[in-house]
Amino acid sequence: MLRIENMSVIYPNGVRAISDVHLELEEGNIYGIIGPNGGGKSSFLKGILNLVHHTGNVYFNGQSIQNIAKQIAYIEQKENIDKTFPITVYQCVLMGTYPGLGLFKRPGEREKNAVEEALRQLKLYDYKNVQIGELSGGQFQRVLLARALVQESILLILDEPFVGIDINNETIIINQLKELARSGKTILIIHHDMETVEAYFDNLIMINKRVIASGKVSEVFNQENFEETFNNYTPTFNLQFKNTKI
Amino acid sequence: MLLFVNFANDFMQYKFLQEALWVSMVLGIGCGIVGCFIILRGLSLMGDAISHAVIPGVAISYMLNINYFIGAVIFGIMAALGMGFIKENSKIKSDTSIGIVFSAFLALGILLITKIQSSIDLNNILFGNVLTIKNEERTLTYLAIAGVLLTIFLFYKELLLTTFDPVMAKASGMKVKLINYILMTILTVITVVSLQTVGAILVVAMLITPASTAYLLTNNFKTMLLLSALLGAISSVIGLVVSVSYNLPSGVVIVLTSAVLFLIAFILSPRDGLIINYLKTKKL
């Protein structure tokens, strides 16, 4: 269980990105995270990951999150990664094994086999010798997921993985994530497409400077919570809340 | 061709030429390899800054009559830390903090050198002269380069991952700050030992030009490291041969040679060259 106790992220300039988060997230689930731009979604994830200064505590199965850092796969927004970097798909995925290897250790047969397997799983084998800059956005997102697979992570955190990719890539990725959740991994995903929320996630965390609602999608994804999360914005797209209270 | 034949004759005859050639070549290899990490991390300006910031360290070492290497490394690291400190503790941007710190250090260095009026030849520090390198300095250079290459070999995967994706590295518990400090130390050490060949003003070229040329020629990091080392060595050798033959300052010619090699790759690279890019857009 991922347990977040009283976490707030306040930046040095005094901006309070997110406050007083208390959450208990069960293993083997995919949690979608939605909220407006500037609502603190990324800060929430960065707080969990200790990438930014925060108050409060984060535990995974009773131990401090820092103790299991090697088994956390964080996939940031792919636009933040330098795609002109001179590495191939294979080398990029192989880097996922680096955190788990000790100091001075090099990837061996076991790690290389894991890379080959992950490339096959994500239908990337034909691209293994291609430089990452030559891939489409969706293919590159799959490479980053393959890297997370070989990391043998127990907690996967993805920041907007479906932005700017086509439906084929999106399907491959979400199916892989669902399979990972079935095998017991805990997965957190920042998501923007409200129309796929119900299809992709069992659980949802709605954030706007604080946690507005959290729980089963069927229980929390309703118009009342939606409007509170998105500052009284009423959706103009075709969003059918199954559990609407209004 | 005649140039190389004449040089070869001199080379066989004079030991100092042989020594200068080996030192330049080893420095070319070392700078080429370190340079790959520097350019991919966007630290070229940092390399330039450190090379200027070490000058007061050189001056103080002469005043205290200790090896210039010690003072220079201390000042180089102080400058690197100072730049990082200003950036992290104010809203000043990275390039500005680099500019402030290195110009202050450089001014201090020039002040000390003019004030102490000692035997330090400012020209040698600023532009280098590999032909006057002393035995003791040569040994130190070899040892320092060996240390730098060994450190890169040992921390290869940490250096690669923190260069490519520092956020993922940090989230996975890697000591990203420590790796950055290790790289800054490597950068300072290689800069200081390169002062003898190319001097403070031009050492950054040894670091970034061969690496950039290699970057244009390959899409594979290991190949880039090898190519960059090779280009660094070739630039040093050609530069030294030409400079000795025409009695020109060695550092300047080495830097110009590597710039010419860069220009060739920039225009002709089969991957990213001007010509191939032009043909690609024409096809579209």
pLDDT band at B216 (very low <50, low <70, confident <90, very high): very high
Whether B168 and A75 lie within 8 Å, measured CB to CB: yes
CA distance B30 to B211: 11
* Amino acid at site B211: A
pLDDT band at A109 (very low <50, low <70, confident <90, very high): very high
CA distance B244 to B231: 20
Whether A82 and B40 lie within 8 Å, measured CB to CB: yes
Q: Where residue B31 sits, what CATH number does that domain have?
A: 1.10.3470.10
Residues B213 and B90: beta-carbon distance below 8 Å: no
Domain total of chain B: 1
Alpha-carbon distance B105 to nearest alpha carbon in chain A (angstroms): 29
* B132-172 tens-digit pLDDT: 788 888 899 999 999 999 999 999 999 999 999 999 999 99
pLDDT for residue B84 is more than 90: no
pLDDT for residue A240 is more than 70: no
- Torsion, Cα B55 B56 B59 B61, to 10 degrees, reads -100
From A126, A6, A147, select the one nearest A72 (Cα to Cα): A147
* B163-187 tens-digit pLDDT: 999 999 999 999 999 999 999 999 9
pLDDT of residue A238: 55
pLDDT of residue A245: 45
Question: Who has greater pLDDT, B56 or B195?
Answer: B56
Average pLDDT over residues B255-278: 90
* B19-65 tens-digit pLDDT: 889 999 999 999 999 999 999 999 899 888 999 899 999 889 888 88
pLDDT for residue A34 is more than 90: yes
Whether A87 and B164 lie within 8 Å, measured CB to CB: yes
For chain B, the average pLDDT equals: 88
Q: Can you list the alpha helix ranges (DSSP code H) found in chain B?
A: 2-13, 15-40, 44-53, 55-64, 68-88, 94-116, 122-127, 135-154, 156-164, 166-171, 176-217, 221-245, 250-268, 274-283
Closest Cβ opposite residue A87 in set B170, B174, B221: B221
A122: left (phi over 0), alpha (psi -120 to 50) or beta: alpha
The domain in which residue B186 lies consists of 2-15+24-283
Whole-prediction pTM: 0.90
Whether A131 and B157 lie within 8 Å, measured CB to CB: no
pLDDT for residue A236 is more than 60: no
Closest Cβ opposite residue A86 in set B154, B167, B219: B219
Q: What DSSP designation does A235 have?
A: P
* A121-166 tens-digit pLDDT: 999 999 999 999 999 999 999 999 999 999 989 999 999 999 888 8
Q: A89 CB near a chain B CB, below 8 Å? A: no
CA distance A170 to B181: 39
Task: For residue A33, give the 3-state DSSP assignment.
Answer: strand
CA distance B215 to B213: 5
- Closest chain B residue to A79, measured at CA: B165
Whether B161 and A98 lie within 8 Å, measured CB to CB: yes
Best B165, B179, B269 residue to mutate vs chain A (most A CBs within 10 Å): B165
The alpha carbon of residue B179 and the mean position of all alpha carbons in its chain are separated, in whole angstroms, by 19
Task: For residue B134, give the 3-state DSSP assignment.
Answer: coil
Q: Cite the beta strand spans of chain A per DSSP E.
A: 2-10, 16-25, 30-34, 55-60, 63-64, 72-75, 155-159, 186-190, 203-207, 211-216
pLDDT of residue A246: 41
Q: Which distant-in-sequence residues (6+ apart) come within 8 Å of B157 by Cβ?
A: A95, A98, A101, A106, A107
For chain A, the average pLDDT equals: 90
Whether A74 and B40 lie within 8 Å, measured CB to CB: no
